[in-house]
Each structure stands twice: as C-alpha cells, then as structure tokens.
Amino acid sequence: MSFDVLQDKIIKTQNPTVAGLDPRIEYVPEHIRKACYEQYGLNLRGACEAIWQFNVGLIDALCGVVPAVKPQAAYYENLGWRGMELLERTIRYAKGKGLFVIADIKRGDIGSTATAYAEGWLSGVPVEGEVFKSFDADCVTLNGYMGADSVNPFLKVAGERDKSVFILAKTSNPGSGELQDLKLSDGRTIYEAMGELNESIAAGTQGKYGFTMAGAVTGATYPEQIQELRARLPHTFFLVPGYGAQG
C-alpha cells in the first residue's frame, strides 16, 4: 500500500519531513537564472528552465535525506503549459531518485470531473484502449468539503493503482476556524466530522502499518487540535503543514 511505501522511506531515512517544491523564480540562485535567460530568453521558457535546474539540484541534494517531496501545483500552473510540463518532469525525476511524491493540488470537484482529475494525477488517462500516464504522482492532496463523492473517484483509483490521498481536515491557515471549528448538533466540530468521514470511507484499506489510503491534512499551527484528531483517527496518516521553514 502506498502509505506503507512512504512509512518505509521514513524509517529508512529516519526523517518524517516532506520537502516542499514550491518554486518562485526569485528563489532560484542568480547564476542559474542568468544562464537560462541567456540561453532561452527572459520569458516563461527561461524561467521554467531555471526552476527545472534548481529543482534538480534540490532533489539531488535531498534524495538521501528526506523520504518525500511535495510540489505545489499552483507554482507551476502560473507559468502556463511550460510550467505544467516542468511539473511533470519534476515528478518523474523525483520518483527516479527514489522519493515519494505528493502532488499538492487540493482538488475537490465531483462526478466525472473528479474522475478526470484522478486520471490525470494518479492513474493515467485512457486513449483508444491504452492508458497513458500524465503526472503519475504517488499521492495527492484533496479538498473533501463537498462530501464523499468528491473523494471517492480518487480512492477508487488509489485502490487500483496503489496510490494514496491526503484530505483537508484542520488546515493551518489563520482563517480555518471560521468554518472548520463550527460545532455540529452532536457536539463535534466540522473538522472532526471531516476527519472521521475520511477514515470511514477508506475503512478496510489499512496497510501493514495500520493506515488507510486516505490521510488527513492537519496544520501544525493547531497542535491541540492535532492531538484530538490523532486520538479520534488511529488509522489516518497525517500531513502536517506549517512545520519547519514555513513557520
């Protein structure tokens, strides 16, 4: 199971940290930017090639240190089609280096749209009876607040292709409490209900470490809530943003 693979990598590296690959062109060292602009021009292609070289350097340096990387799709989408091609290359390169790849896409649609997203990011797309891989991440982040039918197409693919997902539960942003902390009639908060929904819809998919294929995003900025969720969700793998340089 996919989270078994991730846990094996965590044990091997003795490190539970995922490295975010959230590139802004200004993060790239000046000598790389300058060389790429000279070769490809001061344009989107030049920017993408500079980020590509930077990503390769980061992955090469990190592949024996961390178990996983997490590229955030927005930082590639804003560069247009070249950025999406860059993201595909980055995922392929990271997997080739033995890293577990979590595509941070936070998709949350329903029906055939959710199925199409799941094909693009996890399973591959069928063309004339053959399946062709697109981004082929090991795992994706999802927004399940539209309900189980926004998650189920991804879980179906995850089960078929040995993949996994992380679903937003208690997020790290300051405004998360405006909705997620509201109380339901039974006394649970909305984020507690969301976490329990995650665990229930993936019940029976536990791997050797006891985790289902549906993990939860739980922000490190709310440690007490994480403790509560950990007690409620014994079979749920946690992705904890807000740890490390992010603050």
The residues assigned a catalytic role are 106
Question: How far out from the chain centre does Cα 77 lie?
Answer: 15
Residue that the structure tokens 């094909």 belong to: 119
Q: Which amino acid is at 79?
A: L
**Three-state secondary-structure class, residue 12:** helix
CA dihedral 152, 106, 99, 29 (to 10 degrees): 170
CA dihedral 192, 198, 200, 205 (to 10 degrees): -140
Tell me phi and psi for residue 23, to 5 degrees.
-80, 130
Distances (CA, A) of 224 to 93, 190, 234, 238: 37, 16, 16, 14
